[in-house]
Amino acid sequence: MKKFLELVAEKKKAMKMLLNNSKSEKKYRVCNNCKKEIPNNDNICQNCQLIEKADRLVGAANVFAVGSFVPTLDHFPILSKVNPRHWDFILSVAGVFIVATILNGLQLDNDQGDTLMDIVEKKLSEWDTDGTRAFDDCKSLFEKEYDRLAVSPEYQKDRQFISVDALGIWIVWNLFNRQPQNNEEISLVRVTGSLVMHTFHNWWKLS
């Protein structure tokens, strides 16, 4: 009887150790795309998530642009002078540009960042042959206007809208093919810039 109780105790001890080891053991599964090991509660690895986001960006930007025209027109009648297709193009490019700018600020290695931008640029060119040219134009004017606004007295006190307004200036300038002039156009600068920024500022956030 004593030996039997000792045997039961040893089995209980062994079972307890097995359970403890099982709890402390880290669970893994493989990424659905690249087949690398990832935590058990994920379906795809972080790199593949970023690649999927890069692949979807241009399409998502265009959907956003198409859906934003009428609501903005309701508040800015001056947009009745703008061809909706032109609005779609300009707002789409602005969205892609901002997401690309945010990408540059992420702590990614150079190869990963370059891979993601190559995907975005390829999709942009496939979407519209003028897409890359417009992207470069947006980048050029954005940087110029950002530097100009950053040293102006108005933005010295409150700098939170520098990027928003720099982007909005490019948007409105290209919607009307001239620099924003009247009060409605100037108001539209911040509204369109804020709209794009708010929509895409978390694009690269991983689930």
- Please write the tens of the pLDDT for every residue from 116-141: 999 999 999 999 999 999 999 999 99
Average pLDDT over residues 44-65: 94
19 found inside a domain: no
21 found inside a domain: no
18 found inside a domain: no
17 found inside a domain: no
Range of the domain at 89: 44-200
pLDDT single digits (tens) 59-96: 999 999 999 999 999 999 999 999 999 999 999 999 99
For the chain, the residue count is 207
154 found inside a domain: yes
152 has pLDDT over 80? yes
152 found inside a domain: yes
Q: Write out the two tokens for 42.
A: 């994920």
Domain total of the chain: 1
Residues 136, 174: contact at Cβ < 8 Å? no
Q: Write out the two tokens for 156.
A: 């010295």
pLDDT score for 89: 98
11 found inside a domain: no
Average pLDDT over residues 188-193: 98
- Name the residue with higher pLDDT: 61 or 16: 61
- Rounded to 5°, the CA angle 148-153-154 comes to 90
Q: Write out the two tokens for 204.
A: 């690269």
